[in-house]
A = this chain, B = another copy of it.
């Protein structure tokens, strides 16, 4: 059962004109709660930046919308934030990136059962069908786009190493798609080890690879934090000229180096922290118009090259 009760006004107004016309410019008619994890690491720092930036943009575009933004360092703080949004701020819609799936499922389900629109971002809940809208990145696409770049830019017999993330379904989806894209290319994957999306772990894994393999043509670091650890290990081994590296997720420092034509970092693959922007914008659109916004939006992973890197560089973002 989907909840569209709050859209009644918008739907009727949408049919005769726009909500902006029927509501006086500054009158707040709908409030959106946004609950996200705190900026504890690079990706979440970027996500926090984009959430606030988008709230500012949407409030300017649609003065009839108001927002409550809460960030949480653990799951129980997030549950409290959400309960507070419902009890004291009378939200019409909730946009939530669950800190963890399990502890957030029942509280978010309770929100949905009160007829409040629910948009879930990135990490799914443990029970399917609770949310009205799901917005996330494309994990198989993330691996495939990287794999296709390696295939197109290496020749049969060239050798690569791969750093994997924390052992999860998500990591499996990415790696399976990466290796599938290389199938039949003759490119040799020397080794794959878990760097756990962590800079220090990646440094250690890459040191090990460098000591074991005398020829490495390229590295799929699969994450920009890991790419930084990998580059440090390569620099200490004095083998910087030997191989190029593809990270992932679009860290500002890495995108800047791609834009500037660094031969060590030819491209990147997006898994955008700005997915929170898509979630907030689509939720807002559902409140101000009759546009269908329920469903499932999977944001494609894109190849960042020197030519288009400026589109993915956000000077004010911490990530």
Q: Is A101 an interface residue, CB under 8 A from the partner?
A: no
Q: Is A244 an interface residue, CB under 8 A from the partner?
A: no
Contact in complex: B292, A272 (CB < 8 Å)? yes
Q: Is A38 an interface residue, CB under 8 A from the partner?
A: no
Contacts of A7 in B (CB 8 A): 311
Count of chain A residues with a beta carbon within 8 Å of a chain B beta carbon: 56
Contacts of A291 in B (CB 8 A): 54, 274, 277-278, 281
Q: Is A77 an interface residue, CB under 8 A from the partner?
A: no
Q: Annotate A268-297 by CB proximity to B: 1 below 8 A, 0 otherwise.
A: 001010110110011001000111111111
Contact in complex: B289, A300 (CB < 8 Å)? no
Q: A292-B274, A294-B299, A300-B294 are in contact. Are A18 and B60 (CB under 8 A)?
A: yes
Contact in complex: B295, A296 (CB < 8 Å)? no
Contact in complex: A314, B1 (CB < 8 Å)? no
Contact in complex: B4, A302 (CB < 8 Å)? yes
Q: Is A70 an interface residue, CB under 8 A from the partner?
A: no
Contact in complex: A290, B302 (CB < 8 Å)? no
Instruction: Identify whether the interface residues of A are mostly helix, strand, loop, or mixed.
Output: mixed
Contact in complex: A289, B4 (CB < 8 Å)? no
Cα separation A56 to B290 with both chains bound (whole Å): 13
Contact in complex: A278, B299 (CB < 8 Å)? no
Contacts of A312 in B (CB 8 A): 4, 11
Contacts of A22 in B (CB 8 A): none
Q: Is A316 an interface residue, CB under 8 A from the partner?
A: yes
Chain A 37-87 interface residues, beta-carbon cutoff 8 Å to B: 53-54, 56-57, 60-62
Closest to A279 in B: B291
A4 to chain B, nearest CB (A): 5
Q: Is A241 an interface residue, CB under 8 A from the partner?
A: no
Q: Is A15 an interface residue, CB under 8 A from the partner?
A: yes
Contact in complex: B57, A1 (CB < 8 Å)? no
Q: A4-B308, A289-B281 are in contact. Are A15 and B314 (CB under 8 A)?
A: yes
Contact in complex: A57, B302 (CB < 8 Å)? no
Cα separation A281 to B291 with both chains bound (whole Å): 8
Question: A15, A62, A272, A317 — which one has the most chain B CB atoms within 10 A of its CB?
Answer: A15
Q: Is A14 an interface residue, CB under 8 A from the partner?
A: yes
Contact in complex: A20, B294 (CB < 8 Å)? no
For the complex of A and B, 3 pairs with smallest distance between CB atoms: A295-B300, A295-B299, A297-B297
11 contacts between A and B (CB under 8 A): A7-B311, A11-B313, A16-B316, A18-B56, A54-B289, A272-B292, A274-B291, A277-B291, A277-B292, A281-B289, A292-B299
